[in-house]
Amino acid sequence: ELDCPNAKWELDVIIGRYYARVFYSNPGHPGDTAGCFLGGVSADAGPLPSLEKVEIRLLVDVVDARLTFSGSKNTSCSSVSAIELISLPLSTQMWRLRAASAVSGRWRVHELQFHQDEDCGDPDLIKTQRSRVFSSGYMDNFPPTLASDGNEITAWLAACDGCAGGTSWIGAAFISIQTVRCLRIYQ
């Protein structure tokens, strides 16, 4: 429990954009996350029920090579358990597929492939280049990595059920710049 007047954790990082997941838990004590901030961005994940955990996902831009998490019991930030950071590459190194229209149920993608050839005749870039598959969120036990595991039975499932158009997406970030001219999706 954050019981000091102004709790603050600082992490030295490379300047850039980060995808962050902030996890909150406070076993046996309900709490709040309204006053929690990561890099000056609100990390409010709502109320923290007793014996449960909550999380929030957000994008954070770091311009001074220091990422700060701040909050206190006095400002309605009573707990934090972990912070996961993923450094995001340049926009020329990321490709994603977005459901532009509303999706009934959960969007399910069994396999996703990106190719340089216009006819998808070359090997999948996700498999041949250093990459990380990520998404707008996922249902427990159905992470985005299942959409690139080579198994058409497994699948990524979007976090939301009945997502509004434009809110669900899945993609890949590469170490180097990649030109994608064709994609395959099994859904």
Report domain extents, the chain. 7-88, 91-186
Residue from 23, 66, 17, 65 nearest 173 by CA: 17
Measured over the CA atoms of residue 117, residue 166, residue 144 and residue 69, the dihedral's sign is positive
Percent of the chain with pLDDT over 70: 94
pLDDT at 18 (0 to 100): 87
pTM listed for this prediction? 0.58
What pLDDT score was predicted for residue 11?
A: 85
Q: Where are the alpha helices (DSSP H) in 17-148?
A: 125-128
pLDDT digits (tens, 9 = 90+) for 25-49: 877 777 788 888 898 888 888 888 7
- Radius of gyration for the chain, computed over Cα atoms and rounded to the nearest angstrom: 19
Asked if residue 109 lies in contact with residue 126, where contact means CB atoms within 8 angstroms, the answer is: no
- In the DSSP assignment, the letter for residue 127 is H
Tens of pLDDT, residue by residue over 74-112, are 677 877 778 888 887 777 788 999 999 999 999 999 999
